[in-house]
Amino acid sequence: MRDGASSPALTPSLALGFDFGVRRIGVAAGDTLTRKANPVGIVTPGAAGEDWPAIVKLIDEWRPRLLVVGIPYNEDGSESPMTERARAFARELGLRTGLEVALSDERYSSLEAEGRLREARRSGARPRRVRKEDVDRTAACIILERWLDRPPTDGNARMISQLYADGTLRHLLTLDGLDRRLIEYLIERAQGFLTVAGSAPPRSAALSGVTVANLFSEPSTRTRASFELAAKRLGAEVINLDVHLSSRVKGESMLDTIYTLAAMSIDVFVVRDAEAGVPEFVAAHVGPHVSVLSAGEAHVSHPTQGLLDALTIIRHKGRLDGLGIAIVGDIRHSRVARSAVQAFTTLGARDIRLVAPAELMPATREFAGCSRLHDIDAALAGADVVMMLRIQRERMAETDIPDAAAYFRRYGLSASRLARARPDAIVMHPGPMNRGVEIAEDVADGPQSVIREQVTNGVAIRMAVLEAVGGAILRSRRAG
C-alpha cells in the first residue's frame, strides 16, 4: 500500500534498525532512497541489561535521522512478554538519543533472515556457516527494509509525507519540516474561530459528512475534549475510543483496531499514544482518503499544542521574531517543548532559553540554536514569554532535587522571579498545572497569565486543522 505523494526530489535520510533480543541486539543501517539495509553489528547486553554506552556510541558514529525497532508479536498478532520489553527498549532509546523511534512488526523476520543466509551460502556468496549473530544482524536489515518500503518519504526524519501532492495538509504528525506558510495559514484560520468571551462559539456545517475518531491510549481530558468540541462545532460526527479499554487490551492488534474502524468509514483518526511512532504507524496503514492527526506522541511531538502556543504569543505580541522566550522544566521528556520550539523557530524566534536541571535537559543534538541554562533567574531576565512545563514527581528522582518544595525553590515561577522578565511578559503553561511546584498560585491566576487563553486557543487551532484535512477529504469525495 502506498498512500500520499512522492517528493519529486527525494533526499536520502539514514535510519538504523534494531532487532531487539535478550542475548543480542542486531543493528542495521539503511536509507530512504534505496530502501535497502546492510548489517552494522551486534550489541550484547550485560548482566545489568542493555549496553547503552555501546548503543549510543554506534548511533553517534552513524548519525541517523530515524531509529526503527522491531516489535515481536505472536504469530496471531497478540502480544507476548517480549513485546513490552522491546517497547520499553524503544522508549528508552528515544529518551537517551533524542531521536525519533518508530516501531515495526518483526514477525517472521528471523525465519526470513535464516532463509536469506542459507540461500547466500548455497550460491557461494557466503562461505561460512550461519551463526546466531548473523541471523540477528540480517533480521535487523529485514525489520528496517520493511519500514523503509512503507509509503514514500518527504526527506525528513518522518517517513511519510504529511501533504497531498498539491501541498495541502493530509496528516499532522509533527511540525518539524512544515512550511512556514502552512503554519501561518493554520494560525490565521484559527483566529477566525475565536470570538469575544461570553459570546456563542462559532459553528458551521463545513465538515458535515466527515467522521472523526479520537483514539487515546493515555488519559487527557483536556486535549480529547478540545478535539471533540472542535470537530462538533464544524459539523462532524465524533466517536471517542479509549484503546486501553477496547479490544486492543483483549489481544487485538493495533492494526486490527484501525482496520475495524476504517471499515466503519472513519475519515480522520486523532491519535494520542505513549509510544513513539504510533501516529505515523497508523498513518502508514490507512487508505488514501483518510487523515491522521497526532494529539500527543510519547516525548516526541504534540503539534497542535505547538500551534496553539504560537497563536497565543502572536495574539499578545504580534510576532515571534525578536522575542525572548524562556521554557522552564522537564525539557528532556517534553513533547510540548519540542513542538513549541519547532513552531517558534519556524516563525522566526531566535532567542529561546531552555531552563532545567542537567538531568532533565535534552540530548545535545536536539533543540539546535536554543540556549541552555540551569539558573532560572538568569534565564528570565528580560524575557517576553515564560513557558512553564509540568514536572512529574517521579522525574525528580532523576535529579538531586529531593521533593516538590525544593523544586519550586529552584525552578518554580514566583511573583518575585517573574519580576525579572519584562513588565509585559506573558506566562504560559500547557496544563494541567502543579500549583506550588512549577508555578505559584498568584502567578497562575495573575494578570500576566494567559494559561486559560491557551485552552481557548486550542479549540480554535484544532478547528483550523480539522477544517483543513476534512475539507480536502470532502473535495476529493465530491470530485469522485
Considering the domain architecture, whether residues 365 and 270 belong to the same structural domain is answered as: no
Residue 5 placed within a domain: no
Residue 94 placed within a domain: yes
Considering the domain architecture, whether residues 25 and 136 belong to the same structural domain is answered as: yes
Rounded to whole angstroms, what are the CA distances from 330 to 309, 310, 355, 363, 438?
Answer: 17, 20, 8, 12, 10
What single-letter DSSP state applies at residue 276? Answer: T
CATH label of the domain that carries residue 232: 3.40.50.1370
Number of folded domains that form the chain: 3
Residue 356 placed within a domain: yes
Query: In 20-133, where do the E strands start and end?
Result: 25-31, 37-43, 66-71, 100-105
Residue 170 placed within a domain: no
Considering the domain architecture, whether residues 317 and 443 belong to the same structural domain is answered as: yes
Residue 441 placed within a domain: yes
Considering the domain architecture, whether residues 216 and 116 belong to the same structural domain is answered as: no
Cell of 467: 477544517
Rounded Cα distance between 159 and 144, Å, is 12
Q: What is the chain's pLDDT, residue by residue, as a tens digit (480 residues)? A: 223 333 223 335 789 999 999 899 999 999 876 778 999 999 998 888 899 999 999 999 998 888 999 988 776 666 788 888 998 898 899 888 888 788 888 888 888 888 888 888 777 765 567 788 999 999 999 999 888 875 333 333 445 679 887 889 999 999 988 889 999 999 999 999 999 988 999 999 999 999 999 999 887 889 999 999 999 999 999 999 887 644 455 455 677 788 889 999 999 999 998 887 888 888 888 888 999 999 999 899 999 999 999 999 999 999 999 999 999 999 999 999 999 999 999 999 999 999 999 999 998 888 989 999 999 999 999 999 999 999 988 888 888 898 999 999 999 999 999 999 999 999 999 999 999 999 999 999 999 999 999 999 999 999 999 999 999 999 999 987
Considering the domain architecture, whether residues 448 and 464 belong to the same structural domain is answered as: no
- Host domain of residue 283: 180-301+457-479
Considering the domain architecture, whether residues 293 and 312 belong to the same structural domain is answered as: no
Q: Are 320 and 341 in contact (CB under 8 A)?
A: no
Q: Which amino acid is at 12?
A: P
Residue 153 placed within a domain: no
Considering the domain architecture, whether residues 313 and 440 belong to the same structural domain is answered as: yes
**Amino acid 177: pLDDT:** 83
Rounded Cα distance between 57 and 340, Å, is 29
Rounded Cα distance between 295 and 401, Å, is 31
Contacts of 8 (CB under 8 A, 6+ apart): none
**Amino acid 128: pLDDT:** 67
Closest CA to 173 of 165, 161, 188, 186: 161
Considering the domain architecture, whether residues 125 and 204 belong to the same structural domain is answered as: no
**Amino acid 252: pLDDT:** 56
Considering the domain architecture, whether residues 187 and 72 belong to the same structural domain is answered as: no
Spatial strand order in the sheet of 324-328: 371-373, 351-355, 324-328, 385-388, 426-428
Residue 236 placed within a domain: yes
H helix runs in 192-334, sequence order: 221-233, 254-262, 278-283, 303-317
Residue 134 placed within a domain: yes
What kind and span of H or E run contains 354?
strand 351-355
Q: Residue with C-alpha cell 501533504?
A: 163
**C-alpha atoms less than 13 angstroms from C-alpha of 342 in its C-beta half-sphere:** 24
What kind and span of H or E run contains 53?
helix 52-62
Rounded Cα distance between 470 and 210, Å, is 7
Q: What end-to-end distance do the CA atoms of the chain give, in Å?
A: 20
Considering the domain architecture, whether residues 449 and 314 belong to the same structural domain is answered as: yes
Q: Is 210 left (phi over 0), alpha (psi -120 to 50) or beta?
A: beta
Cis (ω within 30 of 0) for the bond into 201? no
Considering the domain architecture, whether residues 369 and 463 belong to the same structural domain is answered as: no
Rounded Cα distance between 263 and 279, Å, is 19
Considering the domain architecture, whether residues 293 and 361 belong to the same structural domain is answered as: no
Q: Taking the CA atoms of 219, 220, 221 and 226 in sequence, report the sign of the dihedral they define.
A: negative
Rounded Cα distance between 110 and 141, Å, is 10
